[in-house]
């Protein structure tokens, strides 16, 4: 009995010692992100994307530009003493979005703020292009360079729609900053009348592009692979993630449910934090600490958010704390943790699905081809996801399990898990509180 007591005490002391050692490592990874790499750089290498919707009006060619508010913090403020995200974004768009005809540039009325979804900023503008009476049709060149000099991975989704409802979509990025539109004699845009098949493949492309450029989703998938030792486990967790995000993606895209973007993006960071911490703690038999650590962290962040009047409501923080406490009780048994991992992944997949839906809604959905676009986008996400998982598993993890010693595998898992904890913690806090 005495021997068992000593052994239990030693295990607990080791656990606390490890957490004491883990805390500076988390802080160090966090500081590396903030100072060594730089705050702007971290935001620049996050999922960076913006959206615009174009249409022909009596005033000319109208555009509504939408971007996440946190992306605007990449830009230097127009007035450092009285910073305004709307003013900063408006000036940036005035300098980076241009329309022109071969004979003369189009005249801009200037970007002005308009109502947007929580967590986003929208700006509206009108361009008057010189008429060409001698011809039945004309062309206008649209140049979009917004955010691309601040984030080289930035992707811009543009949707062009004419008065008849026909539309075309285009992806702008660092290497492709221009598109040419055809105009009819009356100034109306000539758009494509695409069918179900083209809609499917177009939105599949958007889904693939989104998942491959969304570093937070990729980091989450990496965390899942840290928790798996067999290919069967990989299949189970990927399937669970697919079920979860497909459900909320469909419900959000069909406007059955809606969420705030800032909250969803913050919770995505939280899912990364939980998965990464579990990868480290499970190997060290420290799962009994997980719930308490998460609950304490959420408690202080909740208090801080109340003082800052941050977007996360108090009931949201209370819900997260209840999750953390419940997670702590459930994680007492490591075997249960491993057996119920697919269920946890389904729950976390629900959160990521809301994130996917935010992109799909902002990119624009054709009402008459909603199902085709939705299926195509989801399939594109799955293709990109499976591609990344296959590369990571067969290119590295399988080799690591076969050729690396258990000690070396453990060291790699600890290093990756600790780094991911720091990243997840930073995204969770910055997206909800900053």
Segment 171-191, tens digit of pLDDT:
888 888 888 877 665 556 665
Residue 146, exposed/middle/buried by CB under 10 A (0-12, 13-18, 19+)? Answer: buried
Handedness of CA 306, 307, 311, 317 (dihedral sign): negative
Residues 261 and 155 in one domain: no
Do 181 and 224 share a structural domain?
no
Please compute Rg for the chain using Cα positions: 24
Given a cut of 80, is residue 132 above it in pLDDT?
A: no
Q: What percent of the chain has pLDDT over 70?
A: 74
Q: Does the pLDDT of residue 31 top 90, yes or no?
A: no
Give the per-residue pLDDT at 13: 42
Mean pLDDT along residues 26-51: 46
Contact 198, 161 (CB under 8 A): no
Is 17 inside any structural domain? Answer: no
Q: What is the mean pLDDT of residues 268-281?
A: 84
Q: Are 59 and 106 in contact (CB under 8 A)?
A: no
Q: Once rounded to an integer, what is the mean pLDDT over residues 35-51? A: 52
Task: With respect to residue 93, please indicate whether it lies within any of the assigned structural domains.
Answer: yes
pLDDT mean across residues, the chain:
76
The residue-averaged pLDDT of 291-301 equals: 75
Q: What's the confidence (pLDDT) of residue 382?
A: 87
**Which residue among 193, 212, 232 closes a domain?**
193
Q: Which of 152, 175, 193 is the last residue of a domain?
A: 193
| pLDDT (tens digit per residue) in 303-362 | 777 766 666 777 777 778 877 777 776 666 666 666 777 788 888 888 888 888 877 776
pLDDT at 9 over 60: no
Where is the domain boundary, 193, 214, 234? 193
My answer on whether 235 and 373 are in the same domain is yes
**pLDDT for res 354:** 85
Count Cβ neighbours within 10 Å for each residue of 359-372 and write b for 16 or more, e otherwise: bbbbbbbbeebeeb
Question: Torsion over CA of 52, 53, 57 and 61, rounded to 10 degrees?
Answer: 40
pTM (predicted TM-score): 0.68
Domain co-membership, 175 together with 231: no
Q: Lowest mean pLDDT: which of 144-148, 187-191, 294-298, 419-423? A: 187-191
Give the angle 152-158-163 at the CA atoms, nearest 5°. Answer: 165
Structural element, H or E, at residue 308 = helix 290-308
Q: Is pLDDT of 27 > 70?
A: no
Alpha carbons 44 and 75: distance in angstroms, whole number: 11
Instruction: Indicate if 325 and 409 belong to the same structural domain.
Output: yes
Q: Is the pLDDT of residue 29 over 60?
A: no
Alpha helices, DSSP H only, in 64-109? 69-72, 85-96
Is 301 within a domain? Answer: yes
Residue 370: per-residue pLDDT:
73
Range of the domain at 78: 50-193
pLDDT value, residue 22: 38
Whether residue 259 lies inside any domain: the answer is yes
Place of tokens 């480290």: 280
pLDDT higher for 50 or 282? 50
Query: Does residue 405 surpass a pLDDT of 90?
Result: no
Q: Which residue from 218, 223, 239 is spatially nearest to 397, judged by alpha carbons?
A: 223
Question: What is the per-residue pLDDT for 46?
Answer: 54
Ranges 68-72, 327-331, 374-378: which has the least confidence: 327-331
What integer is the mean pLDDT of 50-78?
84
What does the longest C-alpha to C-alpha distance in the chain come to? 100
Residue 28: which of 40, 17, 37 has the closest Cα? 37
Do 379 and 203 form a contact (C-beta atoms < 8 A)?
no
H helices present in 331-405, as ranges:
334-339, 341-363, 370-392, 398-403
Residues 336 and 208 grouped into a single domain: yes
Which one is predicted more confidently, 96 or 301? 96
**pLDDT interval class at 47 (50, 70, 90):** low
End-to-end CA distance of the chain: 52
Same domain, 127 and 213: no
Cα 125 to Cα 91, 214, 315, distances in angstroms: 12, 29, 38
Angle at 345 between CA 339 and CA 350, to 5 degrees: 145
pLDDT of residue 90: 92
Are 32 and 426 contacting, i.e. CB atoms less than 8 angstroms apart? no
User: Of 148-152, 203-207, 287-291, where does mean pLDDT reach its minimum?
Assistant: 287-291
What is the distance between the alpha carbons of residues 210 and 66, in angstroms, rounded to a whole number? 16
Residues 286 and 242 in one domain: yes
Q: Between vectors from CA 67 to CA 248 and to CA 118, what angle results, nearest 5°?
A: 60
Q: Is residue 36 part of a domain?
A: no
pLDDT (0 to 100) of residue 43:
42
CB atoms within 10 A of CB 337: 19
What pLDDT score does 89 carry? 93
State which H helix or E strand residue 24 sits in: helix 2-31
Instruction: Judge if 276 and 340 occupy the same domain.
Output: yes
Across 8-12, 112-116, 131-135, 391-395, least confident range: 8-12
Is 265 inside a domain boundary?
yes
Kindly report which listed range (92-106, 185-199, 296-310) carries the lowest average pLDDT score. 185-199
Residues 54, 62: contact at Cβ < 8 Å?
A: yes
**Separation CA 360–CA 157 (nearest Å):** 10
**Count of the separate structural domains present in the chain:** 2
pLDDT of residue 17: 40
Are both 219 and 129 inside the same structural domain? Answer: no
Is the four-CA dihedral 286, 291, 296, 302 of positive or negative sign? positive
């Amino acid at each position: 009995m005495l021997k068992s007591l000593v052994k239990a005490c030693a295990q607990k002391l080791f656990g606390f010692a490890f957490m004491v050692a883990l805390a500076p490592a988390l802080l160090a990874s966090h500081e590396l992100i903030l100072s060594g790499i730089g705050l702007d750089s971290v935001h620049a290498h996050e999922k960076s994307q913006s959206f615009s919707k174009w249409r022909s009006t009596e005033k000319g060619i109208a555009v509504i530009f939408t971007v996440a508010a946190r992306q605007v913090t990449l830009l230097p403020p127009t007035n450092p003493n009285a910073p305004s995200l709307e003013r900063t974004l408006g000036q940036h768009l005035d300098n980076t979005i241009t329309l022109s005809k071969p004979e003369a540039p189009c005249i801009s009325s200037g970007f002005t703020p308009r109502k947007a979804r929580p967590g986003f900023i929208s700006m509206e503008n009108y361009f008057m292009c010189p008429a060409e009476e001698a011809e039945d049709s004309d062309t206008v060149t649209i140049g979009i360079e917004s955010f691309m000099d601040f984030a080289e991975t930035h992707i811009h989704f543009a949707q062009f729609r004419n008065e008849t409802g026909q539309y075309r979509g285009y992806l702008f990025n660092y290497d492709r900053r221009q598109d040419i539109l055809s105009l009819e004699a009356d100034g109306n845009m000539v758009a494509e009348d695409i069918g179900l098949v083209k809609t499917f493949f177009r939105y599949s492309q958007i889904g693939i592009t989104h998942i491959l450029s969304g570093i937070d989703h990729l980091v989450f998938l990496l965390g899942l692979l840290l928790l798996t030792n067999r290919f069967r486990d990989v299949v189970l967790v990927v399937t669970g993630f697919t079920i979860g995000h497909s459900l909320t993606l469909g419900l959000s895209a069909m406007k059955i449910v809606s969420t705030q973007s800032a909250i969803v993006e913050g919770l995505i960071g939280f899912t990364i934090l939980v998965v990464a911490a579990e990868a480290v703690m499970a190997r060290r038999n420290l799962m009994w600490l997980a719930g308490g650590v998460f609950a304490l962290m959420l408690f202080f962040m909740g208090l801080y958010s109340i003082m800052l009047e941050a977007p996360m409501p108090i009931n949201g923080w209370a819900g997260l704390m209840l999750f953390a406490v419940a997670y702590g009780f459930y994680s007492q048994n490591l075997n249960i943790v491993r057996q119920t991992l697919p269920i946890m992944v389904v729950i976390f997949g629900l959160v990521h699905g809301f994130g996917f839906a935010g992109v799909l809604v902002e990119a624009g959905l054709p009402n008459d081809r909603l199902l085709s676009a939705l299926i195509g986008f989801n399939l594109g996400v799955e293709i990109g996801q499976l591609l990344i998982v296959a590369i990571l598993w067969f290119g590295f993890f399988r080799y690591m399990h076969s050729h690396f010693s258990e000690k070396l595998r453990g060291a790699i898992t600890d290093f990756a898990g600790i780094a991911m904890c720091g990243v997840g913690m930073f995204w969770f806090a910055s997206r909800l509180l900053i």
